Amino acid sequence: MTEGLTVAGSGPPIVFCHGMLLDRTMFEPQMRQLAGRFTVVAYDQRAADQRGEQPYDLSALAEDCRRVIALRGLNRPVLGGMSMGGLVALRVALDDPELLSGLVLIASTPAPEHPDVRGQLRSVFSACSDAASLPAELVRQEAEAHFAMRTQRERPELVSRLGQSMSSRSGRAAWRELCAWIDEADLTPGLAELDLPVLIVHGDEDRLVPLDRGLDAFRAARRGRLCVAPYAGHAVNLEAAERVSEAIGAFAQECLTEQTTQV
């Protein structure tokens, strides 16, 4: 392990890109559950360090991801991304499909947010863009919005842990992170043409990216697979960790088998 990067296990590689306001620790369940069969890599995107204070875009985040793959010498990994991280992963796949053996989109959508939602997000995060840290009330609201109501009620420690991760983000870094993807063009046509296996993972109670948007992505993908977790929200890989890890592991094994067959 080095700063901003965690590697676990051995075997065919799987790389994870986290969502906005989050960090690589959100994939700890997958690191534990998949490390017995795979080399699992999770890294912090640039909002977690000083680079996050300066303007950047989705292409820069995709280049960061490719750099991680290259520096670790990973041969055609399965690349997974959660929410904003899904856009990063999809951008990598569209730009360099031969770099990957498969793509996993977790609680993510290739389609742009509605203009009203974009305006609301800009208003919220621009208002605190000069703050040393995100306001506690905003952190609480964002953390709760990531989980289904049942999870909030029965497993409040998950909400608290995610909130702690979010609270480390400065207002400026959060604003730059939002600006990196909020105006990205619709990537659905690219997904429809992508000749890679794609696994769509979604919670059926996701309030931030509702399930119907995940289903739209599944229908658009040429070679799509689908995993829907019941009673799970936006942080589906935490709420339904075992189910999601099993689905990703089976998908990665399928991609490995296909890759071996093609050689």
Of the pLDDT bands very low, low, confident and very high (cuts 50, 70, 90), residue 263 is low
249-260 pLDDT tens trace: 999 999 988 776
155-172 average pLDDT score: 96
188-208 pLDDT tens trace: 999 999 999 999 999 999 999
pLDDT given for residue 152 in this prediction: 97
109-137 pLDDT tens trace: 999 999 999 999 999 999 999 999 999 99
Q: Checking DSSP bridges between strand 102-106 and strand 39-43, what pairing results, if any?
A: unpaired
User: Nearest CA to 198 among 209, 186, 187, 183?
Assistant: 187
Q: Say which residue the tokens 């909400």 belong to.
A: 159
CA distance 141 to 134: 11
Of the pLDDT bands very low, low, confident and very high (cuts 50, 70, 90), residue 261 is low
pLDDT given for residue 1 in this prediction: 37
Would you say 196 and 225 are in contact if contact means Cβ atoms under 8 Å apart?
Answer: no
Domains of the chain as residue ranges with CATH:
5-112+184-262 (3.40.50.1820)
Q: Report the number of secondary-structure helices (H) and strands (E) in the chain.
A: 12, 7
CA distance 54 to 170: 12
